[in-house]
Amino acid sequence: MDFITFLITVAKALAVVAVLMSFCAYAVLAERKVSAWIQGRVGPNRTTLPVIGSIPVIGPILTRLGMFQPMADGLKFLFKEDVTPAHVNRVFYVLAPVLALVPALVTVTVVPFGQYVSAAGEVVPLVLADLDIGILFVLAVSSLGVYGIILAGWASNSKYPFLGGIRGSAQMISYELAMGLSLLPVFMWVNAPGSDAALNLTAVVQGQQGWWLILWQPLSAFIFLVALFAETNRLPFDMPEAETELVGGFHTEYSSFKFGLFFVAEYAHIVIGSAVFTVLFLGGWHPFPGVPLQMEGLLGAIVSIGIFTSKVAALVFFFIWVRWTLPRFRYDQVMTLGWKVLLPLAIANLVFYALVIAAYDTLN
């Protein structure tokens, strides 16, 4: 690979990460705003910037919407006192927040977020790395994120983080199984005889030019979504954090920027999870079920990215909405749900779709 292509690749990667990070920042804002609205409050509406904030009409509206709040939040994390308790295991203590964030940023490489159709009708997916084993990569890397939680719990050398870390690992193991099994029917479906989709995520999107997979396989989508909630540690599954039981769970001993990393990592996982769900079940960048996107050139690329991000944004909103609606499960309920309900359900679902697909193939 020559130097120029290398530079272009780096630039692309940086751009994607930058977009992802600002998405995360605004997901935090969305969380604050939506939670406020649901509770009858107005949420952050004071933070403003000197010049932009004083533009008539637009400035006050942006301020009211809290659009400048993420910057203030970020700065706050940066400048707060960073307390490292004396009883921690320093190496792992510092490593943990990094380990929480990095997998989320790595997964984004294989998630296709748009398409570019050249004049010749050739379809180029917009993705950093169009791996054939895309979904395996996503599952493998994203589950590394839990190491951040476990390490944080362990290295903090204090009881609440420790409990949080243990809960995190147990929950992770329980739900990863159901998640993987719920995805098998999807790939059996996409890999109909004659297609060479393999485990490629772009192929899944292209396979949804007709109806979306959520309509064909609602149960798979449902199981995947529930497992996704558990994997991202969102309420009602926020066992590792459980601030009412475990103070702050795994990040109790963290402050300042390290805490900020955990915080961003949670939202990065949500955004990535939503993106993967969009790719697998919500038809990626195709606007409506049964209506594939057929625009060419640069405009088509921009529209496809726009459609994809708005679907992701809607899902992120759903995550937030659920969080401010449901109370937390008890720990044993989480385990029961994972092992006794979701796992059998996922297996039944798998067998059912295997039979349906086999029947369909033999009849044709």
In the complex, least distance from residue 48 CB atom to another protein, rounded to whole angstroms: 14
Report the alpha-carbon distance of residue 171 to residue 33 in Å, rounded: 29
Give 307 or 320: the residue with its C-beta nearer to another protein. Answer: 320
**Using an 8 Å Cβ cutoff, are 152 and 261 in contact?**
no
In the complex, least distance from residue 30 CB atom to another protein, rounded to whole angstroms: 12
Task: Write out the two tokens for 49.
Answer: 């910037």
Give 16 or 345: the residue with its C-beta nearer to another protein. Answer: 345
Report the alpha-carbon distance of residue 201 to residue 208 in Å, rounded: 11
Stretch that binds another protein, among 70-78, 158-166, 205-213, 316-324 (CB under 8 A): 316-324
In the complex, least distance from residue 40 CB atom to another protein, rounded to whole angstroms: 5
Stretch that binds another protein, among 155-163, 209-217, 250-258, 322-330 (CB under 8 A): 322-330
Residue 39 binds to another protein (criterion: CB under 8 A): yes
User: Which of 326, 351, 358, 359: binder of another protein (CB under 8 A)?
Assistant: 326
Stretch that binds another protein, among 19-27, 107-115, 158-166, 324-332 (CB under 8 A): 324-332
Give 40 or 194: the residue with its C-beta nearer to another protein. Answer: 40
Residue 37 binds to another protein (criterion: CB under 8 A): yes
Q: CA angle at residue 280 from 275 to 283, to 5 degrees?
A: 90
**Using an 8 Å Cβ cutoff, are 278 and 312 in contact?**
yes
In the complex, least distance from residue 36 CB atom to another protein, rounded to whole angstroms: 8
User: Which of 7, 18, 38, 91: binder of another protein (CB under 8 A)?
Assistant: 38
Residue 62 binds to another protein (criterion: CB under 8 A): no
Contacts of 215 (CB under 8 A, 6+ apart): 289
Residue 322 binds to another protein (criterion: CB under 8 A): yes
Binding residue count for another protein, defined by CB under 8 A: 13
What Cα–Cα distance (Å) separates residue 331 from each residue in 168, 215, 242, 336? 11, 32, 10, 9
Residue 321 binds to another protein (criterion: CB under 8 A): yes
Report the alpha-carbon distance of residue 248 to residue 94 in Å, rounded: 17
Contacts of 197-200 with CB under 8 Å at 24 or more apart are 198/132, 198/133, 199/132, 199/133, 199/134, 199/135, 199/136, 200/130, 200/131, 200/132, 200/133, 200/134
Give 33 or 311: the residue with its C-beta nearer to another protein. Answer: 33
User: Which of 302, 325, 354, 355: binder of another protein (CB under 8 A)?
Assistant: 325
Give 30 or 201: the residue with its C-beta nearer to another protein. Answer: 30
Q: CA angle at residue 304 from 301 to 308, to 5 degrees?
A: 140
Please name the residue ranges forming H helices in 49-115. Answer: 58-64, 69-79, 90-107
Touching another protein, residues 17-36 (CB under 8 A): 34, 36
As to burial, measured by CB atoms within 10 angstroms (0-12 exposed, 13-18 middle, 19+ buried), residue 81 is exposed
Give 321 or 360: the residue with its C-beta nearer to another protein. Answer: 321
In the complex, least distance from residue 334 CB atom to another protein, rounded to whole angstroms: 13
In the complex, least distance from residue 337 CB atom to another protein, rounded to whole angstroms: 9
User: Which of 1, 3, 4, 40: binder of another protein (CB under 8 A)?
Assistant: 40
User: Which of 9, 14, 18, 41: binder of another protein (CB under 8 A)?
Assistant: 41
**Using an 8 Å Cβ cutoff, are 49 and 30 in contact?**
no
Residue 42 binds to another protein (criterion: CB under 8 A): yes
Torsion, Cα 150 156 159 164, to 10 degrees, reads -30
The single-letter DSSP state of residue 342 is I
Q: Which residues bind another protein (CB under 8 A)?
A: 34, 36-42, 321-322, 324-326
